[in-house]
Amino acid sequence: MDKNNNQNKKIILGGLIALVFLLAVGFAAFGSQLTIKGTARVSTAWDVHISSVIPYEFVGSAQDVAHEIGEGGLSAVLETDLKAPGDSVTYDITVVNQGSLPAKLSDIKFHQTQAQEVADQKGYKPSITYSYKGIDTVSDDTKTKLKPGEEVTFQVTVTFTKDFDTTKYTEAQIENELELILTYNQDVE
């Protein structure tokens, strides 16, 4: 009986091994391996630029000599002829966001020519003044932020100082150049 018992154990053990083998083969035959592959790309475009410059308001005998947008819309040149104190020209300047990222105006800087800086140091009254309105860096609205596809139009006014006495100064002291620099950055809020 011991022999039969051992033989039965061997048969049962062999059967279990065969069953495990069949289960492994069955799992391999009916199992599936899934593979997921992908590629992620960030495709953004930064395109904030000046899209138009339009002289629209003239005071006195002031004239627009030239206005143009520089390469890529990253600059604009305004040239005026102011004939008498009090003359002024106001320009509408439009900045557009044609990129895919929101933009925020973070800084506005004025730079004068060296001639005007020297005149300021000597206490001369400025012959020509510049001002702007319609944009700023502190509001939390369309004056500051540009979503993709949006634009903002602001005004720059060039003025021959009203009470400037032209008989006391040379022509060099009456001419003034200025740069208005707008810095836009990505709006991450």
* 112 within a domain of the structure (yes/no): yes
Top-confidence residue, 147 or 111:
147
pLDDT classification of 102: cutoffs 50, 70, 90: very high
- Taking the complete model, does pTM exceed 0.75, yes or no? no
Q: Quick one: pLDDT band at residue 25, thresholds 50, 70, 90?
A: low
Domain membership flag for residue 144: yes
Range of the domain at 102: 48-186
- pLDDT beyond 70 at 32: no
Is residue 79 within a helix (H) or strand (E), and if so which, with residue range?
A: strand 76-81
Structure tokens at 120: 């300021």
Q: 160 pairs with which residues across the strands?
A: 128
- Range with the poorest average pLDDT among 2-11, 59-68, 110-119: 110-119
Distance between CA 76 and CA 73 in Å, rounded? 7
User: How many domains are contained in the chain?
Assistant: 1
The listed range with the strongest mean pLDDT (31-45, 118-132, 142-156, 174-188) is: 142-156
41 located within any domain: no
pLDDT tier at 17 (50, 70, 90 boundaries)? confident
Q: Tell whether 99 is covered by a domain.
A: yes
Please give the residue that has the higher pLDDT: either 84 or 6. 84
Residue 185 pLDDT > 80: yes
Assess whether pLDDT exceeds 90 at residue 62: yes
Residue 64 counted as domain residue = yes
Count of all residues that appear for the chain in the document: 189
> How many other C-beta atoms lie within 10 A of the C-beta of residue 109?
9
158 vs 57: CA distance, rounded Å: 11
pLDDT of 36 above 70:
yes
Percent of the chain topping pLDDT 70: 75
Cα distance between residue 81 and residue 58, in whole Å: 11
Report pLDDT for 59: 96
Residue 39 lies in a domain: no
The pLDDT of 96-114, averaged and rounded, is: 83
pLDDT given for residue 38 in this prediction: 82
